[in-house]
Amino acid sequence: MNDLPLLRESAVLVPIFRDAAGELTLVLIRRTNYGVHGGQLAFPGGKRESADASLQATALRETEEEIGLPRAAVKVLAALPPVQTLTSAFHIAPFLGRITPPPIWHFQPTEVAEVLPVPVRYLADPAHTGRENWQLPGWPAPTPIDFWRVGPHYLWGATYRIVHALLPRLLAGEWEL
């Protein structure tokens, strides 16, 4: 008998742009305090719907719904290695997209508490990383968790794993940004 849950297909956009000073910047969101991933830092995205032609289409649709960024403002640069959530059974397909950010973010307030542009340089600084033993509801024992501190928030979990794999590639200049 197989006790593993069926993984649900989902996709996220990893939005990146250069700010006015030329600084390479990732866009994160902080989810509202509701739902399985409530309050967590993440990339815009969500579950694939039957009308989505592909997982890339899912990422673009969800990004437009969550943070108001139209598809025309996104140039998808690459499909990144997929990750899985460890407790909520999501298979996440991340897509790196160079964006033209709006002057003001118009996000979906029922899903997104705030939009957080974070300089890549900040994430590359070891002073902002950490590892602690966390005991979360449903976990059988405390578990060591790697994270970045982003202001008062923690960037961890699947989003951490996406950024952790992507960061060296960004710093090496793999894409023209």
Q: What is the mean pLDDT of residues 69-90?
A: 92
Which residue intervals of the chain are DSSP H helices? 55-67, 120-124, 157-171
pLDDT score of 2? 46
CA distance 57 to 9: 12
Are 44 and 66 in contact, with CB atoms under 8 Å apart?
Answer: yes
Residue 4 has pLDDT above 60, yes or no: no
Which of 7-11, 22-26, 119-123 is predicted least confidently? 7-11
CA distance 99 to 117: 12
Q: What is the mean pLDDT of residues 18-25?
A: 96
Spell out the domains of the chain, with CATH numbers in brackets: 8-171 (3.90.79.10)
CA-wise closest residue to 163 among 133, 119, 107, 100 = 119
Q: What is the mean pLDDT of residues 21-48?
A: 89
DSSP 164: H
Across all residues in the chain, what is the average pLDDT?
A: 92
Task: For residue 19, count other CB atoms closer than 10 A to its CB.
Answer: 11
Number of H helices, E strands in the chain: 3, 11
Question: pLDDT above 70 covers what percent of the chain?
Answer: 95
Residue 66 has pLDDT above 90, yes or no: yes
Q: What is the mean pLDDT of residues 29-43?
A: 83
pLDDT score of 1? 40
pLDDT score of 36? 59
Q: What is the mean pLDDT of residues 91-104?
A: 96
Question: pLDDT above 90 covers what percent of the chain?
Answer: 81
